[in-house]
Chains A and B, each alone.
Chain A
């Protein structure tokens, strides 16, 4: 506001800071899910996800190789030696201090040698390499080493591999993903086709009762779909559609139509009258005017509604639960799958987070790619 008058506000820095804070606050929850989906279940339960971006210091209990295993122990010059690395292959952890007793886990530095019983010694290096030597043959289990190690941030794609490509039916999202897609695409396109014709009639054709029909559409905009559940389920069961894709498409079409007609009509009314009248004079029929002139010109409005309907059907749980998913669960959609995972896998955040992110990713992509149309649709749909 001050900029309009020509002078820059002295509070600009405060605005920058508060917007940054606001944006971070709004991003933070989603970030948590995204980061968690790239961590293993151990990592998730050991530390909060916000620590995953930085190297973490952890107290680990590690064990050397088992002396009884074949070929582990090597005898050279009368000394029995076991060597190896405490970490799994590929680990980039670095040990700072360590110990061999749970009461003194930090008495040795990396590179120090510890004296064990019976003249045995063990040396542990920073990278986890150890040399365990003894004058007599070593027996029993592997030596425990308590180490304080710093691990660099580590991420894995295994969760996605699990959730998307493993055959395990309870955790698998692959089927649910395709089911959601199968629900979404017709449920987006069919209402657009139907609504476009109706909107054209309401905008550019003269017939008695037009105003009342528009008012009815506006009224139906706000009817809660909760009311429709039982009557329609009965209807579907009664006429033999039952629970299935056809039912859910019809339901989504019905519920999406008022907004579609409203948005498209408002847009089409605003199209220049001259074009349409010229076409009429030139002998074009209404059907031709609609398909050749109105439809191409209405692309922005069609796109806005398409995005709305896509987001709404993709994210929907209630309609799918009532009209689609039967007892076999073959036609489960992603939202339903996630709710079920919340019940059965409540503590397994690596699976939950990944599954949730798989279902969120597509709408987010659509959102960022077509934000312009979404905003336009919102403005047309609510600001008068």
Chain B
């Protein structure tokens, strides 16, 4: 079932939680809502679930398979949801938790006791918790609770699954294992899934499409690769992983100041300085691991850079602190203000020294 949330605005008093946000999810896709806390991603998820409502006058629409469901109460939307802290019913055992949705259904739609038991058994097998029917939530570990919550959420066979920071409360190892498992589960059940996370690694690894949110707005959406390789704004670049920032032309009057972003693994270190490289000094080399992390000082401005190069190169060049090296940037993003008055940023081209006839436009 496809899902579309269109023109969603939401204010809590004077704070803006969502500012005209639109989002479309194709049937069977897994979409990650990625952003820092307070960016509005959880509010958007709750609006889809029917636990929150958009502002009355924003013309918001919520379409499930083309049908507007905004006026349907949460209990009739037939979505599955997993809460950040799972929200298992603490007074019920695992069986009753998973069966809850079936037991509160209208008598005419309620499955028989035997059907219920069969469905619970099937679900618990899927989440690898067979034999745990009688356990109470407080007798389960975090990862087990998470899977009970998931089994409960899909017990009524929803076609849309909403997950709010599903791995937030788990430790790193469990999180990685559950991630793979969730992806397989989602594909098998053909669930259209939206999940909220603030972990960019999780979003990139799991999602078919990543929607980056910031300050109540969507900054960018696209496939993980698109978002990672072609970030649309400085915010997205910084949010998607480690990045170096070089500010240029700040002090020169008459020139347009720009911000140059380069990821550590896009910096190439050359043993000799030439017309095709930027000059830098090695400050520190950290090479315990498969990649060497090198801290550098860019001599022209004194700015610090972090580079990641293969161990073999670190060893071959015998990089040590104090050594002068040349740098080349394989891939950069440069942003400048559109004009002097406005704050809006546009991307400007960047040319590496020696690569083209004219000098760098910005400095």
| Chains A and B come from one and the same complex | no
A interface list, Cβ under 8 A from B: none
